[in-house]
Structure formats: C-alpha cells, structure tokens
Structure 1
Amino acid sequence: MTAALIAGTAAIVLVVLARIQPSLPVMMPSYTGWHGSYSDVATWFAWVLGDTTEPGYAHSALAGAMMLLGGYLAQQAFKLRKRWMGFPVASGTGLFGWAVGSGALGLILSNAAWGWTIAVSGMWQPTFVPFASVPPAVVLVYGGRRSVALTGAVLGAALSTPIALLAVNFGCRPLGLPPVVGATTGMAISALMTFALCRHLPWMRVPTVVVPRCSAGSPHHFVDTTRQGPLWLSRRVLADFTDAQFIGNEWASAGLLAGTVISYLLNPAMASNVGVLLPELLTSQALTAAVAVALWHRQWATYGWYPTFVPVVSIAPATVLASHGSVQAIVVGAVLGAVIGPPFAAAVARRLPPDFHPFIGNVVSMAVSTTMIVTTLSAIPGFG
C-alpha cells in the first residue's frame, strides 16, 4: 500500500509538472548544448557539474550542487549521530569526502581528456562514468588516502571513459541499444581491470574497508533495517535515487530531485538530455523504486543493504525512452526492472573476490537486464 501511494503521488505530481511547464517562459539559458569547446570555461564547468547527476538520467548543474550539499549535510549528521541523518552516506564508511573527491577528480579528468568526442560526434557521450564507478569504488575498498584517491581518479578517466565510449559508439548506437548499456559495460570492464591492477601496485595496501555484499555478515552501519514500515520504505525509495553515486541518502536524493524539477521548470533542456520526457522518466523511476523496495525489503533486513536502486538508474528509464514515454512502458519497465535487476546484481556481487567492490555486480546487472528487457519489449506491439 505504501509503495502504491508513493508511486501514485509521484505520478500525479509529475503529470501536473508536465502540464504546467509548456505554459512557462524559458527563464534560464541552457548549458547542455556544450559541444566540446574548452575555451568556454563557465559552460564546461556547468557541464561537468551536471555530469554528477547523469547516472539518474538528469543533467542539471543545480541538481548536482544540491545533491552534493545534501550528501555533505548527511555526512556531518552521521558523524554527530543525529537522528535525522537518514541512511548513512557512502555505505556508512565515513569516506564520503574521499569517495566524492576522487569521483569528482576523475570526472574532471574524464571531461578534460575525452570532451572532444562530444565536439567530433555532436552527440552525448558517457564522460560521466568515473563519478559513479572506479574512483569512489577504489576508495571504498582501499580507504581514504591521497594515493588511493588519485589512483582511482586516474584509472577512472584512463579506463572507464574510453571503454564506455567504445561500447556506446561502436556497440549500442549501431545495434540500437540504450546508451546506458554501453556506459555500464564500460564501468564493469574497467572496474575488473582496475581492481586486478591494484593488487600489483605497491602503494595500494591490503583492503581494509568493509562494504555491504548482499551476503551473511554484511555490515548494517547503524541502520536498524529490521524495523521496516511505511516510513522506512518511503525513506529507502528516496535514498535509492543517489545510490548509483555511492551516496544513497534521502537528503542527497531530495536535493537531486528538487534541483532537477526546478531546472525543468526554468528550462527543460537544463534538467536532462531527455527534455520533455523527464516527467515520464521520473514517474518510472519512482514506480520501480517503490516496487523494488517493497518486493525485496526482507533482503534489506537480512543483509543490511540490497541493490534495489539498480532499475532506477537503468532498466526503467531506458524502457521509457525506448518506447517514447508510453504508459505501458512506464509500468512494465518499472515492474520488470524491480523483479529482475536487484537479485541479478546481488548474485554477481556475492561471487566477486573480497578486494573487488560489489558495485561491479550492479553495473553488470544494469547492462544485461536492460539489454534483455528493452530488446524483448521492442519486439512487442505498443512498445517499439
């Protein structure tokens, strides 16, 4: 009932937004038209900041800034053990600053080194991938040290981005697959290469950070997941919107969503590359998050963490975009994503070596499940 209420409320709010936005004047210029000109420093910076929200299909500098501010406030509350802190950021490791810092440096290096691909192709490119993959994952395995953060950032820009570029441009686009398949494929392959390489780097010590792996004995990090009710479910649904950025907190997600909606009302081109389909996309994300958390809440109680966010940033929105925002795509993509994505991710994560961050299971599930579901639905009348 709680999941239905959340999804229904979100759908109503977003339908209202979709109705009123066309009547509003464009009050802010768009920066999302950046085409790789490094001389335009302000636009380039706004583009990079917007990339922090790209895992959730938004591309809003305002949303990125509000998300990071919300995550910072949640981290300070975590340190002080405040009751209002929400779900602990960065898996409760206390490494929020190091993880985000490494991810931000990797993001800057990625856009500096590979932004020219946007100019050459004239199309969106997955320059955002380091922020949600290798750099923070390396920190969350090897700890908060300068050498670790720098290593993660450099490897993220040197491996994650070019592999994702190859996968998107020479795999997804010719085959008609959603770009998220290529981006997450790049994240998975580069992460496997990175953690294998880190075993041989003399400055990378033995991993000491314990992160949830969807297995017995996973840390709960000060969160009592056994006391689940409507409030817990609502909080978890909200927190899932920033789990892809290794934050996973309600305050950060509230900032992300508020910034995205404000940007959409000011100018749809500022809020996302999907433009006018943003309300439908957010509806699918809210629905799949609600269904996934309600469906897998016992796994949260058992393991202390479960990848219910997987369909929020992959399967559900990709299905909506592939089907041009139809109602049936919103519902079917959200439900199938919630049923298939999380257990697939957990199964892969359990089989990874202890010095490989389990996020690899998440991105493998995103790539495989999205390909399977979108391809299947595209062959059914009404979804193509």
Structure 2
Amino acid sequence: MSGVVDPTKPTYGSALRTLVTVTFVVLACVTVWALAGGHSWEGDYGDLSGLARWVLAAFSEPQFYAVGSAGALLLAGGLVGHIAHRRGWYLQGFVQACGTGIWPSVAGSALLSVVLGALVWGGTLAGGTWQPLFVPLASVAPAVVALYGPGRRVFVTGAVSGALLAPPAAIGLVRWVCQPLDLPPVVGATGGMALAATVTFLICPQLRWMPEPWAWRSEAPAAPASGRRAAQQGPVWVLRRALADLSEAQFFGNEWASAALIVGALLAYATSPQSLAYGSGLFVTILVGQFMSTLTGVFVWRHRWLAAGFYPTFVPAASLVPATVLTYDGALLPTLVAALAGALIAPPTAAAISGRLPVGFHPFVGNVAAMSICTALIVPQLSVLPGVKQ
C-alpha cells in the first residue's frame, strides 16, 4: 500500500546515517594505524600505547600479517558486516560468527581475551622474543560465545578461559615440540588452540552458570531478510566465499571484513613492506597463496558447502600456506603445491575431526587440529621438490 513504511525494511536515510558512522569508524582506525607505527611491544605494562598497537596487530596475526592497520580495519570491516546483516542490506555478505550473527559478543570476548592474555603472559615477550599470545582471539573466547550464546557470564567465561589456557599451551608446544623438531611455529600455535579448547569445553558443562550449548539459538530474534536470492554456488559465490574465508580464522568470515583486512595490510605494505609477515617481506606471496588456496578449496568443495551450509575451506590459508611461504622463503613451487594440496587435503581433514568431536565441543577444534596436523606433515615434505632450498 502506498505511503506505508515497512518497519523491517531499512530506509535510505537510515542506511546513509549508518554508512556515515561506519566511514568515521574506518577513518578513526586508519588514524590509529598512522599514529601507532610499529607494534614492537615487549611486555612493558607501563607502555599502554605499545600494548594497544600490539593488540591491533594481533588481530591480523592468524593470517601471518601481524600489523596494526590490518587488525584495525578488520574490526571496522567486521562492524560494517554486522550492521549490514542487522539492517538486512542486500550486500551484507556472509553472516559472521559462524553464521550466528552475534558478532559484537564474539569479537568483544576475543578482544578482551587477547588483552587479558597479554597482561598475564606479556612477560614472555621480554627482549623482543616472539610468542603466540594472539591465540585466544582465534580460539577459545569466540568459540565459547558462539557455542553458549552472548550472555554476560558466557562472555567473561570465554575471555578468561582463553587468556589463561590458550597462550601457555601454544607457548609450550612451540618451545618443546616445534623448535626441537624444526616445525613451523603455527603447528604449536594451532595445536595449543585445540588443546586449550578441549580443556575449556570439558570444564564449561561443570560450571553452573553456563547454559546448554546452542540452546540460545532458538531464542534469538531473526535479522531482517536481505532480499538476496539463495546462493547457487556459481562463480560469483565462489569468489565471495574465497574472500570471506580470509577472515574466517577470527570467526568473522565475511567479505567486508576480509576486504578491509587486506586493505589495511596493503596500506602498511605501501609504506613499510618489512612491517608485515614478521619482517620477511613476503606479504604479497602469502596473500596470493592464501587466495589461491581458498579459491581452489571453495571451488572443489562447493557441493559440501551447499549440503552442510559450511565447510572449513579456510584452514590452509591460516596455517599451511603462509607457513610454507616463510619456510621456503617464498619459493614458487612449494607455495603452489602447498596452496593446492592444502585446498584438497586440509578441509576434509578438519571436517572429519570436527564430525567426531564429543557433544558440547565447538567444531572449530577440528579446524585448528587439522591446521596443526596438515602443516606438520606437509611442510617438511616440500623440501624434496626440485630446486627447493630450505
């Protein structure tokens, strides 16, 4: 009927106000990046600006970028994706936080967890030593919130559990397993995520304030529909999903978030190429290898996406591929083999492990376990390729 406004349909005015707000957020994040400089925080608790820079960089460390501008814009892009979902925009992209839409709680718990973890374990960074202190934000904290819901007690439980359990598990595996066996550190970091999450998911059911897993999903209000037709896994869908996979490790998994992450990394690369990827100068090779892997994986396993609604095609992009690039100094053949082999092997490995987890475990445990296993098994074997020097 003419003149009647549908309250579930966003107006152009509200969309414009939201776009302006988001623009200011993005500009603020870029300003933070420009003023922050590097992220060399060495556990000095009096250096609050250094800690803030380190936290921003940590948000892009699951992709091996480890630079503040990428982390800042990832958060801004995640905010755009969340607003677009809540307002039912046509171009909202994939729903974040494992398709739950509770991005603020998931991202907030991850942020709190990595800050608490830095405060508890920051002393291990003394002297400029690298430690996998970023691990809470891509493991226990967001997984607990996604599994048990966005309640205040769940939020705090996930953040504290991640901060206390994930860093020491990852540090221990890197030091006592990866270093003696000459394995990439990501093997220990992701193995530590799986170990810490296993302990957490065994403890959580014993905590009387924790609800039943997934029970909150039936009570959550539905977001407005976007009006987009159901995806048919065509070429455009494959490209969108491959892009979204680049932020899936942080439980974002959204095109807005991934695009902003890449823009932030490119901004840093344009001014200081050595500031990314642990000073290796191999950011471009890592990014190309990651996108090649996600694109191949999504294309090959698109029927699994159609059947299940999700398939862990992001796994090699956050582990095997960047680890290979760093191990073999960006050599073309190992990177190509790792991207293709990872796309074919890692997703079904992750799905097989996740499908056999006990009730009450978030499936991400299988994803990070597959990251650790596939990287440990494949990366050393690539040294036999012709012309490869490790």
- Shorter-chain TM-score: what band? 0.7 to 0.9
Does 2:149 align with 1:143? yes
**Counterpart secondary structure, 1:124:** coil
> Which residue, out of 336, 347, 355, partners 1:350?
355
Q: Summarize the alignment of residues 93-108 of structure 1 with structure 2, pairs less than 5 Å apart.
A: 93-108=100-115
The residue aligned with 1:62 is: 69
Identity %: 43
Q: Summarize the alignment of residues 198-213 of structure 1 with structure 2, pairs less than 5 Å apart.
A: 198-208=204-214
In structure 2, C-alpha distance between the alignment counterparts of 1:260 and 1:235, rounded to whole Å: 19
The residue aligned with 1:174 is: 180
> Which residue, out of 154, 162, 165, partners 1:159?
165
In structure 2, C-alpha distance between the alignment counterparts of 1:345 and 1:210, rounded to whole Å: 26
Mapped contact 1:55–1:313 kept (Cα < 8 A): yes
In structure 1, C-alpha distance between the alignment counterparts of 2:216 and 2:349, rounded to whole Å: 21
Mapped contact 1:269–1:275 kept (Cα < 8 A): yes
Distance 1:327 1:116, change over 3 A: same
In structure 2, C-alpha distance between the alignment counterparts of 1:39 and 1:367, rounded to whole Å: 35
The residue aligned with 2:238 is: 233
The residue aligned with 2:190 is: 184
Letter in 2 for 1:162: P
The residue aligned with 2:310 is: 305
In structure 1, C-alpha distance between the alignment counterparts of 2:290 and 2:310, rounded to whole Å: 19
Per-residue deviation at 1:226?
5.1
The farther-off stretch of 373-382 and 358-367 is 373-382
**Counterpart secondary structure, 2:375:** helix
> Which residue, out of 282, 302, 311, partners 1:277?
282
In structure 2, C-alpha distance between the alignment counterparts of 1:274 and 1:243, rounded to whole Å: 24
Per-residue deviation at 1:210?
8.2
The residue aligned with 2:379 is: 374
Aligned pair count reads: 348
For 1:269-305, what per-residue CA distance to the aligned partner results, in whole angstroms no more than 9, with x for missing partners?
A: 4333143111111111111111111111111111111
For 1:227-264, what per-residue CA distance to the aligned partner results, in whole angstroms no more than 9, with x for missing partners?
A: 12111111011100000000100000000000001111
Mapped contact 1:93–1:209 kept (Cα < 8 A): no
For 1:178-232, what per-residue CA distance to the aligned partner results, in whole angstroms no more than 9, with x for missing partners?
A: 1100000000011111000001011111112589xxxxxxxxx988765121111
TM-score, length-scaled by structure 2: 0.85
Letter in 1 for 2:263: A
Letter in 2 for 1:350: G
Mapped contact 2:324–2:335 kept (Cα < 8 A): yes
Mapped contact 2:280–2:326 kept (Cα < 8 A): no
The farther-off stretch of 324-333 and 221-230 is 221-230
In structure 2, C-alpha distance between the alignment counterparts of 1:29 and 1:360, rounded to whole Å: 34
Does 2:116 align with 1:132? no
Letter in 2 for 1:175: L
Unaligned runs of 5+ in 1: 1-26, 212-220
Mapped contact 2:334–2:385 kept (Cα < 8 A): no
> Which residue, out of 323, 331, 338, partners 1:333?
338
In structure 1, C-alpha distance between the alignment counterparts of 2:70 and 2:294, rounded to whole Å: 19
Per-residue deviation at 1:381?
4.5
**Aligned Cα RMSD in Å?**
1.9
For 1:153-175, what per-residue CA distance to the aligned partner results, in whole angstroms no more than 9, with x for missing partners?
A: 11101111100000111211222
The residue aligned with 1:260 is: 265
Mapped contact 2:113–2:162 kept (Cα < 8 A): yes
In structure 2, C-alpha distance between the alignment counterparts of 1:269 and 1:210, rounded to whole Å: 45
Letter in 1 for 2:105: W
> Which residue, out of 57, 80, 84, partners 2:87?
80
Q: Summarize the alignment of residues 22-41 of structure 1 with structure 2, pairs less than 5 Å apart.
A: 30-41=37-48
The residue aligned with 1:12 is: none
Q: Summarize the alignment of residues 217-232 of structure 1 with structure 2, pairs less than 5 Å apart.
A: 227-232=232-237
For 1:81-104, what per-residue CA distance to the aligned partner results, in whole angstroms no more than 9, with x for missing partners?
A: 211000111122121111111110
In structure 1, C-alpha distance between the alignment counterparts of 2:324 and 2:237, rounded to whole Å: 28
In structure 2, C-alpha distance between the alignment counterparts of 1:106 and 1:119, rounded to whole Å: 20
Distance 1:174 1:30, change over 3 A: farther
Mapped contact 1:87–1:249 kept (Cα < 8 A): yes
In structure 2, C-alpha distance between the alignment counterparts of 1:232 and 1:208, rounded to whole Å: 28
The residue aligned with 1:8 is: none
Letter in 2 for 1:178: P
Higher Rg: 2
Letter in 1 for 2:89: K
In structure 2, C-alpha distance between the alignment counterparts of 1:357 and 1:142, rounded to whole Å: 10
Letter in 2 for 1:34: W
In structure 2, C-alpha distance between the alignment counterparts of 1:28 and 1:69, rounded to whole Å: 17
Structure of greater relative contact order (alpha carbons < 8 Å, 6+ residues apart): 1
> Which residue, out of 109, 124, 129, partners 1:123?
129
Unaligned runs of 5+ in 2: 1-33, 218-224
In structure 2, C-alpha distance between the alignment counterparts of 1:209 and 1:176, rounded to whole Å: 43
The farther-off stretch of 33-42 and 168-177 is 33-42
Mapped contact 1:283–1:330 kept (Cα < 8 A): no
In structure 2, C-alpha distance between the alignment counterparts of 1:174 and 1:38, rounded to whole Å: 31
In structure 2, C-alpha distance between the alignment counterparts of 1:227 and 1:29, rounded to whole Å: 43
Per-residue deviation at 1:34?
2.5
